[in-house]
Chain A
Amino acid sequence: MLQQQLEPILPRVQKPARYTGGELNSVLKDKGAVDIRFAFCFPDTYEIGMSHLGMKILYSLINERPDSWCERVFAPWTDMEKEMRSRGVELYALESGDSLRGFDIIGFTLQYELSYTNVLNMLDLAGLPLRAAERNALAPLVIGGGPCVCNPEPLAEYFDMFLPGEGEEVVGELLDLYKKHKAAGSSKAVFLQAAAGIKGVYVPSLYEVVYNTGGTVRAVLPRPGSGAPEKVRKRLVRNLDRAFVPTSYVVPSVETVHDRVSVEVFRGCVRGCRFCQAGYIYRPVREKSPETVNAQCLAGCESTGYDEVSLCSLSTGDYTRIEPLAASLLEWTNAKRVNLSLPSLRVDSFSRELSEKLTPVRRSGLTFAPEAGTQRLRDIINKNITEQEILSAAAEAFAAGWVSVKLYFMLGLPGETPEDIEGIAALAQKIVDLYYANPSRPKGKSVTVSVSVATFVPKPFTAFQWEAQNTAAEIAEKQSYLKSLVKSRKIRLSFHNREMSALEAVFALGDRRLAAVIETAWKSGCRFDGWDDVFQPALWQAAFASCGLDPSFYANRRKGFEEFLPWEVLDYGVSRAFLERENARARRAETTPSCREKCAGCGANALNGGSCDAND
């Protein structure tokens, strides 16, 4: 049936293979023989979603259960959406082709604030009411996971529950409970109340948000009698060696963003960069053993036929057993013609030697993320790399024949002054000069220093969660100032869309009242807001105005430590006291050493029975 409906559509849309399914290793089951049908939704394109490791893990994990069938769903691109709507094709899962409406559980992974309109659009394309309160039956249940769940409040009205933290264990517990309640014919209310008893399950409808007169949140309180916990603590996997990892992965037919085998080497991060949400919310540090990583890399390559493996983590050079791991990988990767890639290496010499050993030939370019233009500002954000380290790394790279360097910076960081902006231009120029100071540079080749500048976005559960974001107008001014300082044509300056960053901050820091804004913007046509060619800032401005909400209340206002923050109904392990301490140190431009040198007492080890691999 679906095949017939798609027949006239597919030839008219871009990259139709994104919508057909049938990829190698995709899992087909008999729908009559399973109790639970799970639609794993990624609210962005197929190419982005199929690059996501978390989805691959949970897809296989759920499909290991004989009682459940997990299928994949991605956001159709605008051309496909138009065709689907004009022909009445409901959003379907790729494996069975069945409409999402018939599923038991619809699970969204929330990776990025600017995909929220896609979430609404996908529910609507499935023919489902958007708001949880309007979906009365037990099924389909709409649940959310992923990093944005650390402040799910702007989406709270659309979801039945959120799963903060790592999903590997809680998903199984949830499916068991669901199966029991489905068999018993429980109502949704009965099930949700029971589910709130599972550790790491946040059922937003069981909480009431109390506001102060100024519009700030006074408290998020469990409704009396609901039995919901006062705070929901994120879940995590204690032992990564025993954590579920798939033995076979769906191999996408169209090229995806990260088209390779990815294997985690550890979770968490020892660095403590104060702006970095990932660096805080995945704590504590837990390492996998090199034996496990090696075996998983090999199995991944064999089941997929990929010729590239990527070791992933937030800072791969910080993996303590990288040398034994590298040795065991090199035993087979060359013979099998498998390339290794190590993203997120630091700019120290150890990392450089390592990457030269592991990836002897690829000469695509070198990327550094100083994030700020002066040492003072780098100290404020606790990005503990020095200009000297960057320059010596660049010098070595040039000596080895590289001709392009990419630098990442942010504008609008707390404590930023005009000197910091000047520092960005100066550092880029120093690198250009360094290239021409190298006598053995390739003749006739010119250097390119790409300077990519984003806007600082304050995020929940970071040391900067209280900080104000610069307004888009302020950022515009800083951008043009920086532009005026860049004189060399060897420096290629590019800016991330500042209006997108503004919106990202609003939803990262927002509360439940923003639900109306998302819905209004979506109704007026907003989709794929993270895509430059689709993003429509004017429609968002109109949506805020018509809902009577001021985006700057959320993004551009500095909050005091006394203020309750909308996401403080959740507990991600890092204590508020620690974050306050870090914020105060930032104000004094004091750095905090890496967790390996000295434990900063973030408190996240309590989630792991007091253990943290950063200081064991």
Chain B
Amino acid sequence: MQTIRFTFSKTGAARYLSHLDLVRCMTRALRRTGLDVKYTEGFNPHPYITFALPLPLGQEGLAEKMDVIFIDGEGPQEAAAKLGAALPEGIRIVGAAPPVHPPARIRYASYDLTLDFACVQDAQLYRQTAVRLVEQGALAAQKTAKKGRAKVLKTIDLCEHLQRFEASVQGTSVRIGATLSAGIENNVNPFLLTGALERESAVRPETQLVVREVLLMEDLMPFS
């Protein structure tokens, strides 16, 4: 029995797969490989697959992590090659190794955001607003949270969750590099950030591409 942590990317059209779609997709891909995956016991056995941190629908991920438990020891590289060959367009295996850290160690994720605007002025206004608010250190956003069973809205200050922020304008695009809180305790979806900036700047991007580059730990070292 061994656990292999696969690093995979989910880009292009595949970013529109929901997390549940992705779980199904990986399950089927593993079945197609014929690899000896460990299954749960019980009425409806399913393979032991764990994702370190679900990726929201619509966002790309470059180094997402998925753990799979195998009964029989094929090496990580062989398993990665077989799994990679069984995946649909847009999902690629980029690495495989035994896990080093438990997923609870994840504290941050680094993002690369590209927002396209109708005109240069809008892009500049959006960037200026963003830089000013981040410097001032207050940027409120509403986040759904669970209170017991009920879902409630709570207001958070995004700046408290912003570990790194840089923004530049390239033509009609704004490019933002940001490191935001992530993980089981304080997960901040970058759409909260772009939503807040849209509200404050009163300009709306035509399209926004969110790329989650890497998951980080407390010491800002990559989770692996």
Contact = CB atoms under 8 A, between A and B. Distances in A.
B20 A255 contact: yes
Contacts of B12: 22
A24 B21 contact: no
Nearest to A303: B32
Interface in A296-322: 301-307
Interface string A312-340: 00000000000000000000000011010
B192 interface: no
B88 A24 contact: yes
Given A21-B13, A22-B14, A305 B207 contact: no
Contacts of B30: 305
Interface in B20-76: 20-21, 24-25, 27-32, 39, 43-45, 57-58
Contacts of B28: 24, 251, 304-307
Contacts of A10: 16, 58
Contacts of A361: 43-44
Nearest to A4: B207
A22 B45 contact: no
A22 B20 CA distance: 17
Interface residues of B, number: 30
A20 interface: yes
Nearest to B58: A11
B128 to A, nearest CB: 23
A256 to B, nearest CB: 11
A23 interface: yes
Contacts of B18: 15, 17, 254
Contacts of B27: 305, 307
A215 interface: no
A251 B16 contact: no
Interface string A2-28: 000001101100011100111110000
A45 B7 CA distance: 33
A255 B21 contact: yes
A362 interface: yes
Contacts of B185: none
Nearest to B206: A8
A23 B88 contact: yes
B32 A17 contact: no
B16 A20 contact: yes
A307 B16 contact: no
A22 B45 CA distance: 28
26 contacts: A7-B207, A8-B206, A15-B18, A16-B57, A17-B13, A17-B16, A21-B13, A22-B89, A23-B89, A24-B86, A24-B87, A251-B28, A253-B21, A253-B88, A254-B18, A254-B21, A304-B32, A305-B29, A305-B30, A305-B86, A306-B28, A306-B31, A307-B27, A307-B31, A339-B44, A362-B44
B162 interface: no
A115 B207 CA distance: 33
Contacts of A22: 12-14, 88-90
Main secondary structure of the interface of A (DSSP, over half): loop
Interface string B89-127: 110000000000000000000000000000000000000
B215 to A, nearest CB: 23
Contacts of A17: 13, 16-18, 21
Contacts of A11: 58, 207-208
Given A253-B21, A337-B39, A8 B207 contact: yes
Contacts of B43: 361-363
Contacts of A16: 16, 57-58
Contacts of B87: 24
Nearest to B22: A253
B224 to A, nearest CB: 28
Nearest to B210: A11
Nearest to A18: B16
Best-surrounded residue of A11, A259, A303 (most CB of chain B within 10 A): A11
A339 B45 CA distance: 10
Best-surrounded residue of A8, A24, A336, A362 (most CB of chain B within 10 A): A24
A520 B158 CA distance: 52
Nearest to B20: A255
A310 to B, nearest CB: 16
A62 to B, nearest CB: 21
A234 B41 CA distance: 50
Contacts of B89: 22-23
A24 B25 CA distance: 9
Interface string A234-265: 00000000000000000101110001000000
Contacts of B88: 22-24, 251, 253
B32 A255 contact: no
